[in-house]
Amino acid sequence: MSIKVSHLTKLFGTQTAVDDVSFQVEKGEILGFLGPNGAGKTTTMRMISGYLTADEGEILVNGTPVTEESTKIRSNLGYLPENNPLYQDMYVREYLRYVARIYHIDQPWKRINEVIEMTGLTKEYHKQIRELSKGYRQRVGLAQAIIHNPDVLILDEATSGLDPNQLIEIRQLIKDLGKEKTILLSTHIMQEVQALCDRVIIINKGKIVADGNIRLLSQNLTNAYKVNVIFSRHVVDITLREIEGYISHEEINSSSYIITGKENNLNEAIFDFAVKKGLKIIEMSTLQESVENIFQQLTQAS
Ligand SMILES: Nc1ncnc2c1ncn2[C@@H]1O[C@H](COP(=O)(O)OP(=O)(O)OP(=O)(O)O)[C@@H](O)[C@H]1O
Ligand SMILES: [Mg+2]
């Protein structure tokens, strides 16, 4: 596998920012890294990228420990840091030339022009970085992360600050890159996770609280199934509890409810209930459990 993190721990003073974190990311996988502010995402990503040393644990990138041979690792790893610190006085092409030099890239101008095109910087590359809007600065950050065509990409909130049109383009670029590379992507945008990621890890207070396929994760939650149903008439609260697997409900109006239940055949249970009570079902639809709900359930409890 391309990234393997085992029992990673980082303390800042007495605070454990990252607490015994272990996970793996395979080639061709885009892993979404989610968690509330201060959960430890950036700290973990900085350690993987070799910019911060771990207190405990091991990180292997393409089989090599990051503590050793950091030059070798960096040559095959692209990192877009959270605040994307760029050299403000440099021109876009000058900055990319500088980065290309660090990586000893062959035919640097050819590659620079390629990444300018890929990241949609064609109209802006003649500007100084300080003159760029936030979204375009973000694109320069992405350009520097991919310029040496690394196998592993660590993208810390890669799409923050992008407008809706830019979002679509940059997500497509990340998706395309993800076909051949290993990508660890932190974000606070749930649609992004749903659009891009095969798998998500949710971290809370330095610890991993969920790791898996988005669909499978939702099945492990107790109240994962929600159905929106409109009956022909009002049903009293107490009666709704007779639905098999019932957990809770929300009354939308006097005959419309969102019912949450344990079983994945909640629709059938509601149908059986309606038959038993002589109710007609006017409308019924399954509400997909969103990543947002999963996230809230796992990170708000404690
Ligand atoms: N250099 C540092 N010195 C002291 N504490 C730090 C340092 N860097 C991070 N921390 C602390 O470690 C914890 C994790 O921070 P981190 O930046 O990794 O969170 P995050 O998950 O990236 O949050 P966000 O979503 O806000 O970016 C926070 O409590 C933070 O204050
Ligand atoms: Mg962060």
CATH classification of the domain holding 252:
3.30.70
Residue that is last in its domain, among 171, 187, 218: 218
- Does residue 239 register a pLDDT over 70? yes
Q: pLDDT confidence of 189, banded at 50, 70, 90? A: confident
Say what percent of the chain tops pLDDT 90.
69
Residue 263 confidence (pLDDT)? 72
Clarify whether residues 121 and 267 are in a common domain.
no
189 lines ligand 1 (CB under 6 A): no
Last residue of a domain, one of 166, 183, 218: 218
pTM listed for this prediction? 0.81
Q: Judge whether residue 218 has pLDDT over 80.
A: no
By alpha-carbon position, which residue is closest to atom 18 of ligand 1?
40
Residues 50 and 99 in one domain: yes
Q: Are residues 148 and 173 in the same domain?
A: yes
Integer Cα distance of 297 and 126 in angstroms:
47
For residue 204, what pLDDT band results from cuts at 50, 70 and 90?
very high
- Assess whether 177 and 35 both reside in one domain: yes
CATH of the domain at 14: 3.40.50.300
Say if residue 19 is in the same domain as residue 168. Answer: yes
Q: Which residues surround ligand 2, an ion (CB under 5 A)?
A: 41-42, 82
Spell out the alpha helix ranges (H) of 133-265. Answer: 134-146, 164-178, 190-196, 214-220, 237-240
Total domain count, the chain? 2
Residue 119's domain spans which residues?
3-218
- Best mutation site among 14, 33, 42 for ligand 1 pocket (most ligand atoms within 8 Å of CB): 42
Alpha-carbon gap, residue 208 to 23, rounded angstroms: 9
Binned at pLDDT 50, 70 and 90, residue 29 comes out as very high
Confidence of residue 164 (pLDDT cuts 50, 70, 90): confident
Closest CA to 299 of 39, 43, 22, 45: 39
Protein residue with least CA distance to atom 4, ligand 1: 12
Best of 12, 14, 190, 204 to mutate for ligand 1, by most ligand atoms within 8 A of CB? 12
pLDDT band (50, 70, 90) for residue 299: confident
Which ligand is the nearest neighbour of the Cα of 156?
2
pLDDT tens profile 76-89: 999 999 988 789 99
Q: Are residues 146 and 228 in the same domain?
A: no
Residues 192 and 251 in one domain: no
Query: Does 66 lie in the same domain as 101?
Result: yes
Q: Is the CB of 17 under 6 A from ligand 1?
A: yes
More confident residue, 171 or 286: 171
- 229 and 136: one domain? no
197 shares a domain with 91? yes
Report how far ligand 1's centroid is from the alpha carbon of 16 (Å).
10
**Structural domain ending residue among the three candidates 197, 218, 239:** 218
